């Protein structure tokens, strides 16, 4: 895709001014790193607060007579039971139980369901939802809104200066609040494993708010490169890499996204496959790997200790907070137990790897306020 | 010191070439977290892979600027890959190679030519 056709977020000028290296991502020109570089940006976020432009992601309101129950027709989550002020992680499923996208859906107020989906998937996601739920919900895409994430142990201290009500939110809570002089939708969530917030604001106010947050010495801008290494350490999957339309939530080790109630009801797309997988008919399962030697990256084969190829790495790289390479990948369930010794094939050579628990770096979510 | 368009540098002592990547390349790669150096005794061919250098994000090939036999690899990079960023054109060298054709060294770009090449990027 040529640069001419790339879309720009409302923060594009700020990225250039900050010395960002811009790359095409999800059809947008996005900052992959700033002057500090991926390693320092990653560590800064773990110790202070990192500010991310994620305005490429798709934001929408699902409105209608009963949008919560309608949303259960395309996801395996318990949305009928979603209380006001709460948000859930979920997956949009195809008829075969494969993941069309992963997403956040919440109730910041009484105005239907507020959903945030991946930028590269958003057009297809909203088309699928529109097709499946035609007549039940209306999708109002919020293309005039920007989205930024403030992540890290100092994120809360910084944000409450500008949005005092954000202090009342616990992890996975969301609220429509007046902050920075605008109508903001703020959730205490993110994609780094750290405490932090995702902040939706009107696009025309985004640059002012971005600069206001960056004026705090605890905050630095963080690019997509560190966003990827942070989410990998947090054991969080990336759509298009760890997840795709062939992967079920059970294969992806996202069992928590298939609620107990919905398992019993078996009333979601691909429910028969997912029930069978839960009963043990599973051929592959996502695991975390600690890798010795060179980083094993996406596409690297995983072998057993006899050298037989048994799986593939779906995401992998060097973990800045750990100082060694880690990976996510699929292996047969019999080889998925923590402690299992495996090999990864990097440039034709077998290197030692061990199945380890995820998250690789413990989550530091604030679950009670 | 001589340079290639792939941003490797070579310094020559007799028929032994020391090879690394330039400060420009190190800056472009970002923080180096792993270096795979060649095995001693391996025969390398100009333009083919000599080493692999990995940043947090990606793996990049380093090409042999000249053909020859690997005499020594920089073992210090195993524990201190960051040397490639800190001293790319000194302590961050990757390998010493006995070159088969010393005249090929002279055919590479000198500093002025490399600097002029960087201006075109």
Same structural domain, A155 and A223: yes
Q: Which of residues 43-82 of B touch A (CB under 8 A)?
A: 52, 54-59
Same structural domain, A199 and A335: no
The residue out of A233, A261, A294 marking a domain boundary is A233
**DSSP 8-state assignment for residue B48:** S
A267 belongs to a structural domain: no
Instruction: Provide the shortest C-alpha distance from residue B30 to chain A (in Å).
Output: 6
> Cα-Cα-Cα-Cα dihedral of A147, A212, A7, A224, to 10°?
-70
Residue A37 with chain B: CB contacts under 8 Å: 30-31
A251 belongs to a structural domain: no
Residue B34 with chain A: CB contacts under 8 Å: 293-295, 318, 325
Percentage of residues in chain A with pLDDT exceeding 70?
Answer: 99
Domains in chain B, please, with CATH?
2-112 (2.40.50.100)
Per-residue b or e along A344-367, where b marks 16 or more CB atoms closer than 10 Å to that residue's CB: bbbeeeebebebbebbbbeebebe
pLDDT tens-digit readout, A181-239: 999 999 999 999 999 999 999 999 999 999 999 999 999 999 999 999 999 999 999 99
pLDDT tens-digit readout, A146-188: 999 999 999 999 999 999 999 999 999 999 999 999 999 999 9
Same structural domain, A218 and A345: no
Domain tally, chain A: 2
Strand order across the beta sheet in which A196-202 lies? A174-179, A182-187, A196-202, A145-151, A49-53, A219-221
A66 belongs to a structural domain: no
Same structural domain, A338 and A195: no
Residue-level pLDDT at A57: 98
Residue A39 with chain B: CB contacts under 8 Å: 30-31, 33, 56
3-class secondary structure, A276? helix
A273 belongs to a structural domain: no
Same structural domain, A223 and A287: no
Task: Judge: A33–B30 Cβ closer than 8 Å, yes or no.
Answer: yes
Same structural domain, A194 and A342: no
Nearest one of A342, A290, A335, A336 to A317, comparing CA atoms: A290
Nearest one of A117, A147, A91 to A270, comparing CA atoms: A91
Domain of residue A328, CATH code: 2.40.30.110
Nearest one of A27, A17, A34 to A55, comparing CA atoms: A27
Task: Judge: A317–B30 Cβ closer than 8 Å, yes or no.
Answer: no
Residue A2: pLDDT band with limits 50, 70, 90: low
A149 belongs to a structural domain: yes
Residue B57: pLDDT band with limits 50, 70, 90: confident
Q: Is the Cβ of A320 closer than 8 Å to some Cβ of chain B?
A: yes
- Asked if residues A144 and A199 have their Cβ atoms less than 8 Å apart, the reply is no
Residue-level pLDDT at A342: 98
pLDDT tens-digit readout, B87-114: 999 999 999 999 999 899 999 999 999 9
User: Region A260-270: what's the mean pLDDT?
Assistant: 97
Residue-level pLDDT at A4: 62
Comparing alpha-carbon positions, the chain A residue that sits nearest to B34 is A294
A19 belongs to a structural domain: yes
**CA–CA–CA angle A172, A173, A176 (5° rounding):** 135
A263 belongs to a structural domain: no
Comparing alpha-carbon positions, the chain B residue that sits nearest to A39 is B31
Q: Is the pLDDT of residue A121 over 90?
A: yes
Residues in Cβ contact with A127 at an 8 Å cutoff, skipping those fewer than 6 apart:
none
Domain of residue A30, CATH code: 3.30.1360.120
User: Region A302-328: what's the mean pLDDT?
Assistant: 98
The residue out of A216, A233, A250 marking a domain boundary is A233
pLDDT tens-digit readout, B21-40: 999 999 999 999 999 999 99
Interface predicted TM-score (ipTM) of this complex, two decimals: 0.89
3-class secondary structure, B23? helix
Residue A317 is nearest to which of B30, B52, B56, comparing CB atoms? B56
Task: Judge: A39–B34 Cβ closer than 8 Å, yes or no.
Answer: no
Domain range for A340 is 283-356
Best mutation target among B56, B61, B85 (most A Cβ atoms within 10 Å) is B56
Same structural domain, A48 and A148: yes
A168 belongs to a structural domain: yes
């Amino acid at each position: 895709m040529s640069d001419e056709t790339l879309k720009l977020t409302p923060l594009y000028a700020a990225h250039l001014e900050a010395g960002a290296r811009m790359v095409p991502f999800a059809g947008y020109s996005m900052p992959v790193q700033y002057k500090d570089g991926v390693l320092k940006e990653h560590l800064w976020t773990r110790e202070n607060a990192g500010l991310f432009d994620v305005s490429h992601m798709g934001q929408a309101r699902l409105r209608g007579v009963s949008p919560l129950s309608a949303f259960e027709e395309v996801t395996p989550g318990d949305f009928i039971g979603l209380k006001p002020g709460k948000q859930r992680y979920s997956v949009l499923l195809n008829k075969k139980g494969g993941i069309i996208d992963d997403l956040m859906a919440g109730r910041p107020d009484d105005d239907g369901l507020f959903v945030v989906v991946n930028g590269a998937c958003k057009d297809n996601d909203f088309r699928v939802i529109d097709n499946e739920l035609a007549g039940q919900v209306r999708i109002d895409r919020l293309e005039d809104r920007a989205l930024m994430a403030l992540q890290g142990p100092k994120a809360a201290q910084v944000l409450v200066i500008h949005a005092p009500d954000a202090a009342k939110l616990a992890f996975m809570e969301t609220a429509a609040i007046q902050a920075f002089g605008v109508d903001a939708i703020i959730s205490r969530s993110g994609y780094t494993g750290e405490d932090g917030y995702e902040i939706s604001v009107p696009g025309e106010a985004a640059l002012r708010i971005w600069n206001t947050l960056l004026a705090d010495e605890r905050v630095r801008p963080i690019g997509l490169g560190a966003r990827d290494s942070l989410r990998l350490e947090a054991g969080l999957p990336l759509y298009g890499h760890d997840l795709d339309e062939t992967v079920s939530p059970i294969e992806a080790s996202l069992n928590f996204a298939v609620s107990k109630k919905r398992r019993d009801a078996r009333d979601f797309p691909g429910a028969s496959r997912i029930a069978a997988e839960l009963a043990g008919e599973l051929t592959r399962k996502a695991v975390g790997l600690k890798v010795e030697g060179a980083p094993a990256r996406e596409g690297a084969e995983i072998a057993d200790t006899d050298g037989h190829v048994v799986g593939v790495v779906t995401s992998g790289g060097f973990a800045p907070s750990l100082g060694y390479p880690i990976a996510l990948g699929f292996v047969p369930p019999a080889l998925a137990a923590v402690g299992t010794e495996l090999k990864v094939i990097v440039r034709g050579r077998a290197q030692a790897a061990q199945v380890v628990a995820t998250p690789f770096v413990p989550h530091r979510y604030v679950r009670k306020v | 010191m001589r340079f290639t368009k792939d941003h490797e540098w070579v310094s020559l002592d007799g028929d032994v070439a020391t090879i690394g990547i330039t400060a420009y390349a190190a800056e472009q790669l970002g923080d180096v977290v792993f270096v795979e150096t060649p095995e001693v005794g391996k025969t390398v061919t100009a333009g083919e892979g000599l080493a692999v250098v990995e940043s947090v994000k990606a793996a990049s090939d380093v090409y042999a600027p000249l053909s020859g036999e690997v005499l020594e690899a920089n073992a210090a990079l195993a524990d201190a890959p960051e040397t490639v960023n800190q001293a790319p054109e000194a302590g961050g060298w990757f390998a010493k190679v006995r070159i088969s054709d010393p005249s090929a060294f002279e055919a590479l770009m000198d500093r002025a030519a490399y600097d002029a090449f960087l201006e075109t990027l």
